[in-house]
Amino acid sequence: MDFVIKGDIVYSRSPRELAVTENGWLVCANGCSQGVFTELPEQWKGLQVIDHSGKLVIPGLCDLHLHAPQYAFRGLHMDEQLLDWLQKYAFVEEGKFSDAAYARRAYGIFADQMRRSATTRAAIFATVHREATEILMDEMERSGLISVVGKVNMDRDAPAYLVEESAQRSAEETRAWLDCVAGKYSRTGPIITPRFIPSCTEALLSALGALVRDRGLPVQSHLSENPGEVELVCSLVPESKFYGDAYDRHHLFGSHGGAIMAHCVYSSEEEIELMRSRGVFVAHCPSSNINICSGIAPVRKYLDLGLRVGLGSDVAGGESESLFKEMRCAIAASKMYWKYVDGTAAPLTFPEVFWMATVSGGAFFGRVGSFEPGYAADIVVLDDAREPYPQKLDVAARLERCVYLSADKTAIVDKFVQGDRIAL
């Protein structure tokens, strides 16, 4: 469907600048933006006009990191740090996904809530279970969002009910899963997903690296999230120069296909430099980093160095799928970082976190997260009058306000992914 949306249109022109067109026209054809105009150009006057006058029209948001099975316990169990939290809560919940009926129920809820959110693209962890992972992919496909989903690999350091019996078996399952989903979906693809170094033997990482090289697949994992975890990785892989090197030795760090590394709170200078040179995407997950007491990532430094940074809700370390909440939290976390860690690291601004949630993170998916011509027509429309105010506000202020008030829970009135309308 080709169409034109009329409304108050905002997207990110750069980390520092919002492109705002009040009462503008956003033209969408062949699933892509044809640009934003103050007057509708003659050539597009035949298209259907969707009138969202007075409403905010923004690019759909990109969630670079979340765990679908953990959605069931979002907003709970924030009383432990990472390694204990995994053993006590996350692994226990993930174990339930050996049951396809439970997976269908839980993933049905998850995909339904993602459909209603401001997110249009996501990189998602499933569990080790092949059948449940396929169920998740079926549900995500049905949601209309575009996503990559990973069957998780873990062959050590997890409870017996969750750990895979060997590196070989884990790799075989992964290959079987890849074969099974190949060509099955139009919006949903696979991504290689070693959970993190503590869960994966060298043999497993090596087998996954071979898959990445052979099939040109992207990778997602965790990196330098928590001090205890970083120490554990050092002791598990003493031959690695740093945490990220333990992935890189097996071609799992952006050398073949794209890579998303979540967290990067404690990355060393060498690790940061390798991320930069390899174009690794940092999934910044401030809610999660605070909830499970990991710390605050040095995002100002990453932006200054030109790293690719997006946002991740990291459900269920993060309490919800809302990326509006995550933008607000990224600003808040950066203020505490400035206050208590590094007084030279200027707090993040609203335009910067909006850029991270849209076009910066969106680059993982291609030309996504902007309304410049040629970008995917991923669109979210917000009726911000649902949070009333007594005075006139300009368009940029209205958007900032929506983000601070988490209006993505209450004010989304229309949504498109690559030009396809999502039933809300």
- Interacting residues with its own copies (CB under 8 A): 72-76, 78-79, 96, 102, 105-106, 109, 112-113, 290-291, 293, 295-296, 319-320, 328, 331-333, 335-336, 338-341, 347, 349-350, 387-391, 393, 397, 400-406, 409-410
Minimum gap (Å) between residue 404 Cβ and its own copies: 3
Minimum gap (Å) between residue 177 Cβ and its own copies: 23
Minimum gap (Å) between residue 406 Cβ and its own copies: 6
Minimum gap (Å) between residue 391 Cβ and its own copies: 6
Minimum gap (Å) between residue 388 Cβ and its own copies: 5
The token duo for 170 is 């884990």
Minimum gap (Å) between residue 415 Cβ and its own copies: 18
Minimum gap (Å) between residue 183 Cβ and its own copies: 30
The residue among 116 and 249 lying less far from its own copies, judged by its C-beta, is: 116
The residue among 163 and 332 lying less far from its own copies, judged by its C-beta, is: 332
The residue among 113 and 240 lying less far from its own copies, judged by its C-beta, is: 113
Looking at residue 248, its amino acid is D
Minimum gap (Å) between residue 265 Cβ and its own copies: 11
The residue among 146 and 230 lying less far from its own copies, judged by its C-beta, is: 230
The residue among 122 and 403 lying less far from its own copies, judged by its C-beta, is: 403
The residue among 254 and 317 lying less far from its own copies, judged by its C-beta, is: 317
The residue among 141 and 400 lying less far from its own copies, judged by its C-beta, is: 400
Q: What is the dihedral of CA 100, 102, 104, 106, to 10 degrees?
A: -140
The residue among 298 and 362 lying less far from its own copies, judged by its C-beta, is: 298
